Amino acid sequence: MQPPIPPQKFRDFFDWVQILGPYFIGGAALLIGFKDQILNFLRRPKLDMLFDQHEEGYYHELLHNPLEEIHDPVTNTRYVIRQPGFNSRIEIWNRGKTTARKVQARLVDLAIYDNKKNLVKRVVYHPSIIKWSGEKEFHPVDIPGESKFFLDLFYAVSETKEDILRYHRELGESTLQRIIGDAEYSGDVFWNVWIDTSYPRGVPHKYTMEGHFELNFFVYAENCRPHKFAVSVDWDKQKWNRPDIKRIEV
């Protein structure tokens, strides 16, 4: 059997209830009144970025824009010869529970360094909208809660005949020799970022400089706070489709 509570302690407890009771009731009323706002805050979209160039999904080889269209009279087949290239991209995750609406990313600037890490120039992009991977146009996207969307980062192209033959090898050596033969191509090897270059922008349509590059971006949506992120790229023509790309903490 428990001993009875001493009268003094009971009075002390009752006094504290009288003092704290109104605060407790007020706090509970406040929580109830702002319940929806609190739940929305806890479930809000939260953008995060993931990148590792050595993992599948962040890097892939592909054929870019058409170089020429060739008709093969032997098989009466029309072939489109495209630019050999590769593309690098980053994952934009929504870690929240609700959809991030109208998400866009923009490139702020690009710093170009030589092979000795001396700054050569800084290109300011105003900033410019970056294309979402797999999307044809430069439009924003919605990212549902706890899901992701890939954002295009950096690409390179080789217009050398050697790479053109290698990237189109699925056509077969005899077909390639027949349809390409002694054709001459520019031999250019270059890189660029994924902004809309369909109209004059005041920025280069392609870069041929080798060295170290640093790109500064930010990503934002209608209903969540913006995030800055940056990547570095070490690129040279000998390994044009195997650059070293890393995310930089900002």
What is residue 76's predicted lDDT score, i.e. its pLDDT?
92
Mean pLDDT of the region 27-36: 52
User: What is the C-alpha separation between 102 and 82, in angstroms, rounded?
Assistant: 32
Look up residue 62 and give its two tokens: 């592909």
Region of 237 on the Ramachandran plot (φ > 0 left; ψ -120 to 50 alpha; else beta): alpha
User: What is the C-alpha separation between 106 and 56, in angstroms, rounded?
Assistant: 24
34-81 per-position pLDDT tens digit: 445 555 555 678 999 998 888 888 998 999 999 999 998 888 999 999
User: What is the C-alpha separation between 193 and 52, in angstroms, rounded?
Assistant: 18
- DSSP label of 45: -
What is residue 88's predicted lDDT score, i.e. its pLDDT?
95
Nearest to 143 by CA among 51, 219, 45: 45
**pLDDT for residue 193 is more than 90:** yes
What is residue 9's predicted lDDT score, i.e. its pLDDT?
53
112-160 per-position pLDDT tens digit: 998 888 999 999 998 899 999 989 899 999 999 999 999 999 999 999 9
